[in-house]
Amino acid sequence: MRTFYTIWLGQLVSLLGSGLTGFALGVYVYQETTSITAFAMSILAFTLPGVLFSPVAGALVDRFPRRWMMILSDTGAGFTTLAVLALILTDNLQIWHIYAANFVASLFNTFQWPAYSAATTMLVPQAQLGRASGMVQMADAIAQLAAPAIAGALFVTWGMPNIIMIDIITFLFAVGTLLYVRIPEPKRTAEEAASKPSILSSIRAGFTYIRNRPGLFQLLMYFAGINLFFTMLQPLWTPLLLDLGTPAQAGLVGSFVGAGMLVGTFVMSAWGGPKRRVYGVLGTGIWMGAMLLFLLLPASMVLIAVTGFFSMLVLPIMNGSSQALWQSKTEPDLQGRVFSVRRMLAQFTAPIAILLSGPLVDRVFGPALMPGGALADTLIGQLVGVGPGRGMALFFAVIGLLVLVISILALGSPRLRNVQDEIPDVIIKSQTEEETLKEALGTS
């Protein structure tokens, strides 16, 4: 586990730096444009590579050492951030530069995620996969807890160039930890080594693996559904907080929400999640849908902070349960391509959601609950209220109801409920990178 802890620490530091830059650039985009659509486009640019290129990334991850794929990813993202810093220092930064930088950084991250997931399987005992997944999410939570508050304060006092410089240093630290460790590679079958499948056939193998396991496919479609709904809310949070307060206050609320995720990761890391992992996924989905209904109350920083805290509290249990289930049911030498196809199918709805959320709030829900709007004099108008922000509150509540509905429907599927019993756990065999190199050279 020591190698896993070393890699985890490097990725934690890198996530903190990336969180600082992400928050600062998001604030910059919204303050420069005052447009939810422009802010949403920056999120869309970061989302698209994961949908478009995940299968190719997964196929390549299964062909090359996972450690070097992670080094490539962190190095490429670091150079992208360095380019943004150069544009700022020369006073040439434009909004479209941020979109381009988000796209390229996400493209490198598309290689990093399946390599990290597959490497974890080779480093951690199978019984500890739930805890390891909890630790990976703990790193995300620590970054979400610390980065917004720090970035919100530094944005005013130090300025964006210094924030981005910190991010570049964290990339160097992450690459250093990866250069220090060694990650075992999965033992590949003789048939696979002899066939030397093409990139296209490797991608097809990932699709086939999932399609032939209906329980896992249904789990994937459930995530595609809730990602559609939850991603609709993503472009709305930061503009909503900035409309209610200053960047520093918005950062503090973001950090408080991140604290909920951090507490959840401690729980998941110590507990390992429920034995019936599907219940850990669907039960938390029901909880998070219910939390959104509280946003029907009058909007305030406190309400958003509390609702976000209790929503994020259970997210590590959902993601950790799902990740441990996939890791225990997927052959290690297939995990790169399978996990990348899995990511693409789970997130293909995200770009649709981002494109829809702004127009739905600005042109449908918002006007409907303004004085004289279509819903102002109806029962909904009486219950939710009429005026600025009430349409967005109704939108959040509708999303919550939809998440509740699909979670309950998924719980009623026997194939999904019993996936843990119907698909046997895999047996993990590994070899060192040195052994892999020797085999490739034909030496003994």
Decide if 327 is inside a domain: yes
Residue 428's pLDDT band, with cuts at 50, 70 and 90, is low
Question: Which structural domain, as residue segments, surrounds residue 294?
Answer: 2-185+206-428
The DSSP bridge partners found for residue 430 are 186
Model confidence at 194: pLDDT above 70: no
**For the domain that residue 300 is a member of, what is the CATH number?**
1.20.1250.20
Model confidence at 147: pLDDT above 90: no
Strand 185-186 and strand 430-431: the pairing is antiparallel
Model confidence at 284: pLDDT above 80: yes
Task: Extract the tokens encoding 91.
Answer: 């006073």
Decide if 444 is inside a domain: no
- What pLDDT is stored for residue 427 in this prediction? 66
Decide if 366 is inside a domain: yes
- Distance of alpha carbon 132 from alpha carbon 130, whole angstroms: 5
DSSP character string of 392-415: HHHHHHHHHHHHHHHHHHHHT-HH
- Ranked by mean pLDDT, the top range of 40-54, 136-150, 362-376 is 362-376
Over pLDDT 90: what percentage of the chain? Answer: 32
Reduced to 3 states, what is the DSSP secondary structure of residue 430?
Answer: strand
Which alpha helices (DSSP H) does 330-389 contain, by range?
Answer: 335-347, 350-359, 366-368, 379-384
- End-to-end C-alpha distance for the chain, whole angstroms: 28
Task: Extract the tokens encoding 135.
Answer: 């630790």
Decide if 129 is inside a domain: yes
Decide if 440 is inside a domain: no
Residue 193's pLDDT band, with cuts at 50, 70 and 90, is low
Residue 189's pLDDT band, with cuts at 50, 70 and 90, is low
- What pLDDT is stored for residue 272 in this prediction? 80
For 178, how many CA atoms within 13 A lie in the half-sphere containing its CB? 26
The answer to which of 57-71, 113-127, 191-205, 239-253 has the lowest mean pLDDT is 191-205
**CB contact set of 441 (below 8 Å; sequence gap of 6+):** none
pTM > 0.85: yes or no? no
Decide if 196 is inside a domain: no
Amino acid at 275: K
Decide if 245 is inside a domain: yes
Task: Extract the tokens encoding 190.
Answer: 């003789």
The answer to which of 40-54, 96-110, 371-385 has the lowest mean pLDDT is 40-54
Model confidence at 431: pLDDT above 70: no
- What pLDDT is stored for residue 3 in this prediction? 85
- Distance of alpha carbon 281 from alpha carbon 393, whole angstroms: 26
DSSP character string of 155-223: HHHT-HHHHHHHHHHHHHHHHHHHHH---PEEPPPHHHHHH---HHHHHHHHHHHHHT-HHHHHHHHHH
When the pLDDT of each residue in the chain is averaged and rounded to a whole number, the result is 85
Decide if 197 is inside a domain: no
Reduced to 3 states, what is the DSSP secondary structure of residue 431?
Answer: strand
Model confidence at 441: pLDDT above 50: no
User: Closest Cα partner for 380 from 360, 362, 367, 394?
Assistant: 394
Task: Extract the tokens encoding 301.
Answer: 């920083």
The answer to which of 45-54, 137-146, 268-277 has the lowest mean pLDDT is 137-146
- What pLDDT is stored for residue 142 in this prediction? 80
- What pLDDT is stored for residue 213 in this prediction? 93
Is the pLDDT higher at 299 or at 421?
421
The answer to which of 57-61, 332-336, 434-438 has the lowest mean pLDDT is 434-438
Task: Extract the tokens encoding 49.
Answer: 């590579």
User: Closest Cα partner for 173 from 2, 18, 1?
Assistant: 18
Residue 444's pLDDT band, with cuts at 50, 70 and 90, is very low
Model confidence at 432: pLDDT above 60: no
Residue 434's pLDDT band, with cuts at 50, 70 and 90, is very low
Model confidence at 12: pLDDT above 70: yes
Task: Provide long-range contacts, Cβ within 8 A and 24+ apart, for 59-62.
Answer: 59/199, 59/202, 59/203, 59/206, 59/336, 59/337, 59/340, 60/111, 60/199, 60/336, 61/111, 61/114, 61/115, 61/118, 61/336, 61/337, 61/340, 62/118, 62/202, 62/333, 62/334, 62/335, 62/336, 62/337
Q: For 283-304, what is the mean pLDDT?
A: 91
The C-alpha torsion from 206 through 212 and 214 to 215, rounded to 10°, is -70
- What pLDDT is stored for residue 196 in this prediction? 59
Which alpha helices (DSSP H) does 124-159 contain, by range?
Answer: 129-157
- What pLDDT is stored for residue 221 in this prediction? 95
- The count of domains in the chain is 1
Model confidence at 248: pLDDT above 90: no
pLDDT 10s digits, 169-184: 999 999 999 999 888 8
pLDDT 10s digits, 374-405: 999 999 999 888 988 888 889 999 999 999 99
